[in-house]
Each structure stands twice: as C-alpha cells, then as structure tokens.
DNA sequence: GTCCTTGCAAATTTTTTGCATTTGA
DNA sequence: TCAAATGCAAAAAATTTGCAAGGAC
C-alpha cells in the first residue's frame, strides 16, 4: 500500500544496513531526546545486534545528513539525540535544584529566516535553553536571607 | 579609590579562598567561553597553585550562584564556561564542515520576560545555537549531485 | 575550633579509534 | 568486486569522587 514502509536511507546517500534501519526506526519512535546508551539498550532488548561504537558512528552519519539533531540537557556533557520536528521543546533549567521545565512556544522561527538570508546558511534546526532560579529555590534563598538578618 | 578592587566572593556566600579569587579574576578577563582545562593551564602559567578537580568544584559553585554560565559548542560534550554578559554571542554551526559563525543580535530578550512572568523563574541567561549547512558545503552538495546525474 | 575547601589519585562516564572482518550496491 | 560499514577491544577525553590535610572565619 505504501512504499514508505520500506524505508530508504539511500535517499540520503547512506547504505541501507540493518543497523541503520533499526536505529532510524527507533529514533523516529522517541518522543524525547535519548542518549547513545539508551538506544543501545533498547536495541539489545529487541535482540537486534549492534555495537555501541556503531551507534555512535551511525549517529554521526545521521547528524551530517540532518536526520537527527544533538542536544545537551543542562549542559552536563552528555549528548542527546532526536529527530528534529517542527513541534519541539526547549528547556528552562533551575541553577539551584536543576529542575527542568519544558516550554513549547519557540520565539525564533522568524529570526531563523532572517539569519538564513543574512548568512546564506540553510538552517536545519536550533537549540535554545534558558537558565534561572525556580520559584521554590527563590523562596528558599529569601528565607535563608531573612533568618540571617 | 575603588573598593571593588578587593573583590568579595562572600557577597555570594562563598569563602574567599585564593583559588576562588584567582579563578574568578581569570574568568572575568576571558572574552570567549573557556574549558576547565584552559583555565587550569592559564593558572599554571601564572604559577598559581590549583588542581583541576578544584577548578571543577569551584566552577560548580560559581554556576549555582549564577556567577558563570556553561555552554557547549557544537554539542561535542565539552563544557565551556563564561561570565554572562548582556552583550553575548550565539553560534551558527555547519552540520557538514562544523564551521562556527558567531552572531550577536539575540532575538529572545523580550521572550525571556514573558517566560519569567509565565513560570515565575528568575531568569539569568540562555543558550541559543542554530544548525544548518554553510554556503560552501551547500555548493559542494549541489555539485556532487549534478555530477551523478 | 569548626566546617568548608583543597589536593591527589583513583574511578567513572562518555566517546573515539585501529584493525580485522563482513556486507550492501 | 570493493569501498563502505561493523564489531571488538583498547584508548582517549572529560569529569567526579573519597579521603586526608589545610585554611577561612
């Protein structure tokens, strides 16, 4: 019925190996960014043979094609991957308790067009994270302060 | 003339150790994000005794106080630190050749206010990175494509 | 004096690489 | 066929942690 069922990575100039197909499929299913290790475990659970280094290498290939994007969360040095979608989240992160709040309304789409015109880049996606102190931590700070006084 | 010359980390509730003072001073001088290792080397060159693990611990303390912010560049898993300033750069990164172009005009300041009102976070700073293909890589891709045809 | 901070070394975590083998086009 | 992709094991890179000693307040 639908030829897309047999998914073709060759469109991107990538060989259609079992490992790549499995990884591509798995990435499509995620509804949040995942790390290489997560993908490895999930594929192991499904008894799909793949090594972790292959996952890293495939992810690099996908990144170069824009099939996936990479992100960090709270900049902790761990890299997360996801399929870029028009509907996406950004993070608001507390500097004190490291709570992460997602927000969806993204203010920079128009800006991207402007940037594309200015730089002649073909823009694929972006990452935006905002840092600050959450209401709870702010309250704690105030409390502490007034006790000292 | 200026009391600020003797800088006081105690304002932030941090003990005023030599290592902290030296690191704080050094961070102030940077005009771009630096990694822990960079800071370590620079302090060694100045014959200031400090260990790398102490640098990481101090940076963590500074992060929690909002004295520094952390960033990744092209999400390569290395963490960079800088003193947040109102004038700051964001990155436009090529997915193919990993060229990094800075841009200064930041479109989200108004948005931050809105976000603060909505979430009651006290917002300190943000990170924005845009990914795409640079004009040169785009040209190469086109060339390749037409050769195949 | 007490609690916080530091140094050192070892451990952990994440990612990359070399090389022999396998596989898709 | 043959360049490209994979697996394995080892290495590299970045960051964290335990613990004993030192230092600020």
CATH class of B87-149: alpha beta
Which B residues in the span 78-137 are in contact with A, Cβ-Cβ below 8 Å? Answer: 78-79, 92, 94-96, 101, 103, 107-108, 110-112, 115-116, 119-135
Provide the residue ranges of all domains of chain B, joining segments of one domain with +. Answer: 1-86, 87-149
* Nucleotide in closest CA–C1' contact with B72: D14
Torsion sign (Cα): B42, B10, B69, B51 = positive
The model's pLDDT over B3-22, given as tens digits with 9 standing for 90+, comes to: 444 467 888 989 999 999 99
Q: Which helix (H) or strand (E) holds A100?
A: strand A100-103
* pLDDT band at residue B1 using 50, 70 and 90 as cut-offs: very low
Cα dihedral B113→B119→B123→B128 (10° resolution): -80
- B130: which strand partners? A126, B92
Q: Counting one residue from A and one from B, how many pairs have CB atoms under 8 Å apart? A: 134
- At residue B61, the pLDDT reads 97
The whole-angstrom distance between A38's CA and the closest CA on chain B is 17
* Average per-residue pLDDT for chain B: 90
**C-beta separation of A42 from A26 below 8 A:** yes
Write the pLDDT tens digit of every residue in B48-85.
Answer: 999 999 999 999 999 999 999 999 999 998 999 999 99
Place of tokens 């996952």: A55
In the predicted structure, residue B99 carries a pLDDT above the cut 60: yes
- Given this structure, which CATH class describes domain B1-86? mainly alpha
- At residue B45, does pLDDT exceed 50? yes
The pLDDT of B121-143, averaged and rounded, is 92
**One-character DSSP codes across B40-102:** HHHHHHTT----HHHHHHHHHHHHHHTSSEEE-STT-S--EEE---SS--EEEEETTT--EEE
Q: Report mean pLDDT in 10-residue bins for chain A, 149 residues.
A: 55 92 96 95 94 98 95 92 92 94 90 95 95 93 56
- Residue from B39, B36, B32 nearest B91 by CA: B32
């Amino acid at each position: 019925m639908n030829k897309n069922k047999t998914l073709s990575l060759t469109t991107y100039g990538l060989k259609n190996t079992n490992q790549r197909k499995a990884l591509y499929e798995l990435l499509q299913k995620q509804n949040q960014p995942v790390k290489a290790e997560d993908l490895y475990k999930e594929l192991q659970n499904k008894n799909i043979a793949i090594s972790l280094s292959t996952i890293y290498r495939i992810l690099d290939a996908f990144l170069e094609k824009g099939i996936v994007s990479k992100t960090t969360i709270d900049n902790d040095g761990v890299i997360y991957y996801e399929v870029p979608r028009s509907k996406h989240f950004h993070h608001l992160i507390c500097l004190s308790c490291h709570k992460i709040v997602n927000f969806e309304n993204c203010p920079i789409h128009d800006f991207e067009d402007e940037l594309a015109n200015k730089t002649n880049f073909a823009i694929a996606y972006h990452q935006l994270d905002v840092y600050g102190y959450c209401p709870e931590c702010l309250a704690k700070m105030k409390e502490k302060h007034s006790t000292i006084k």
